[in-house]
Structure 1
Amino acid sequence: MQNLSWHKKIIEQIRLMQDQERLPHGLLLRGPEGIGKLNLSMNIAREVLCLPRSDGDSQIKKVRQLFDSKSHPDLYVITRLEEKKDISIDQVREVRVRLSTTSHQGGWKVCVIYPAERMNKNAMNALLKILEEPTPQTMFILVSHIPKILLPTIVSRCQIMNIPVPDYNSSLKWLLERSNFDENEVKNALALSNNRPFLAAEFLEKNLLSEHERFRNILIGVAKLEINFVTAADEIKKLNSMYCLDWFVKYIHSLLIENSNNNKLEIHECLNHIISAKSMMITGHPINIQLIWEELMMKWLKSNVTIL
């Protein structure tokens, strides 16, 4: 867990809420993936778990030691279990039981849900019931990349914090300080991730820059009729499909902005299909990835792009 410079003002807001005794029972952190929202949620949790501060520095030090050792008994984290596509109702119910008990440290209890949009319908309904009748001194921190998937009634019971993408210089400085990659590689990763530093770090660590180049060459090959769409789909499905969809959207936007001679109607249709495919993948909808990419490559070819 890191103290990120671009989250400093948000932490200051939380401290002000603490001082004014205005902490919400539900807090929704929403913003693009890859900007450190989970890291922020844990920093907020640590701030809240330091309450009350009646014992001064010694109490705060104890809380932080427990927190940093990942053994704080009043912190709960709900995320997808390994091999599972959703956060289940059983996970939410289990935390509800724990939150109904007395705090181990005599203060607040915090539950972080990440990513919140991966809760299935039953899990969301179970969470809604908790938020409707919250236990005193409890906080749920929902971390979401796509909050529109959440139940509107859940969102309405949360205080919303829109987490912005950090400025370029902050992202670049953070990446250069924490990685052994050269500056050009870091800048390329930032450009590819739309200046999202945590996502850029993942691209670098997993060598996804070369994967991106493979995907780009496939698109060029299809556009030039050098690769048929079935072969293209077969090659793309070997890559990270979610990242490929993000990169595809980035290319489409560039084409719409920069190339007025291209068939914009067909390009828009291709873009809509990409967004639809991404939505199905995010929500865990059963899909045939080969067929999805074949359809997208057909739309891409039909758009008659002249430049990538």
Structure 2
Amino acid sequence: MKANNGKQLRQFILEKVPTVTWILIVMMIYFSASNSNFLTFANAANLCRQGAILLILCLGVIVVKITGGIELSNGAVMSLCGMVLAWVMVNMNMPPYLAIIISMLVGILFGTLNGIFVTFMGIPSFVATLGTQGIAVGLALGMNNGNVIGGLPEKFSIIGNDNFLNIPIPLWAIILVFILTSVLLNKTPFGVYVYALGGNEEALKLSGKPAWLYKVLAYSYSGLTAGIAACILTSRNMAAQPTVGLGMEFEAFAGAVLGGSYIAGKGTAMGGVLGGIFILILRNGLNILGIPTYLQLAIFGTVLITAIVLSTLVERRVQKMRDEEREE
């Protein structure tokens, strides 16, 4: 009986606790032992402010990833949203709240375009989002002749630099987007159909459900998160830079994969956050240890592949335990 209980406990842990969690714990122990500055409140607060952008992007990407798609445009879309946000405030004297709404609508528009290209035109998501990435970068560079837009209203800095109840406002933004993503995936028909799209899209179509609509909405949601991230980043820097988001799409995609969405139909909001935190802690720890940039890239790639391999092995182990349970 005890052996059976132990087996059930192992299966429960393997199923419910993402593999990245264990690697995170090991990393935190190692970096804390290597440098006393790692596990400090100041470093944690800095991580919250800097990491908000990546975590929010991860939460958008993981929704697309669950459907079986690949989102590579959100970094560029975030840059464009930030440029639009700053431009309308500086050149049109638009109040910050209205500028934020317009910026988010731009993000949603580009996300919806991605969804339309993938769903109605049959363009592979990798190609479609790479194309919209180029469009977004071009528009962002053209808005101010490739220059930074500064001189934003002083009160706009509150979003990226102030605290509420002694907690950085960017951290509150992460919490709100995390709750929204969790509710959408777990408590609404949208979530049911998003998982169905990744699991068996043809079956969903045969059931008479508008599969195209939920796929488009998934990409639109990723665009929305790019708009939210742009608001935080622009506020934090008090300026908009047309190429600031380039490269972040790969980190966000890696975070989604590390969080458990390495195959279609799998992934959770918590997994997306954990994957993003993994990247943030790895990058932060390597910087504190003074590891050169070129070595950081090699280490990051090695750890990413290792984490995916471990996740795959764990998934196989869990499936084997389920099969043995059925046979008994």
Return the TM-score normalized by structure 2.
Answer: 0.26
Higher strand share: 1
Relative contact order, higher structure (CA 8 A, sep 6+): 2
Larger radius of gyration: 1
Higher helix share: 2
